[in-house]
Amino acid sequence: MKVTKSELEAAKRRADATLRGTPHATRVHYDRKSDRIVLALSSGIEVAFRPRDAQGLEDATPHQLGQIEISPSGLGIHFPRRDADIYLPALLEGFLGSKRWIASQIGKLGGSVSTKAKAQAARRNGKLGGRPKIKEAA
């Protein structure tokens, strides 16, 4: 597929508009002491997040997090020792992974909620023989 000069210029205008409207990374490093990725933005704001909260970095070691690169546009950061990338506009919107990955993380939280009422209900159900068996349709 051949790209025309006008298409290329239009794409460049869109990219320039995105860069003007979105803070971009100016510095990034891993802080071992706080176990956080610290990101300085062109807006003057610093953002820090736990690696385990980002898709692809959940079980990364400090060594793997020690090398981080900023993309040429400044809109992404790359972890070469993990081959993982984070897109900054998504990070700033609060998304540290794909929708499917985020849903799995939320599901883990919901299943781990424990209250006195939940524990009592589980004990009562256990005394009754647990969950009823599903009757097969005839």
Residue 108 pLDDT level (bands cut at 50, 70, 90):
low
Whether residue 29 contacts residue 38, with contact meaning beta carbons closer than 8 Å, is answered with yes
pLDDT exceeds cutoff 60 at 84: yes
Residue 96 pLDDT class (50, 70, 90 cuts): low
| Residue 138, pLDDT score | 59
Residue type at 135? K
State pLDDT tens for residues 18-72: 777 778 899 999 999 999 999 999 888 898 999 998 889 999 999 999 999 999 9
59 vs 13: CA distance, rounded Å: 39
Does residue 113 surpass a pLDDT of 70?
no
> What is the pLDDT, as a whole number, of residue 130?
66
Q: What are phi and psi of 91, to 5 degrees?
A: -60, -45
- Helix, strand, coil distribution of the chain in percent, nearest 5: 40, 20, 40
Closest CA to 86 of 57, 125, 124, 107: 57
Question: Domain 22-97 belongs to what topology?
Answer: NE0471 N-terminal domain-like (3.30.2020)
**Domain locations in the chain?**
22-97
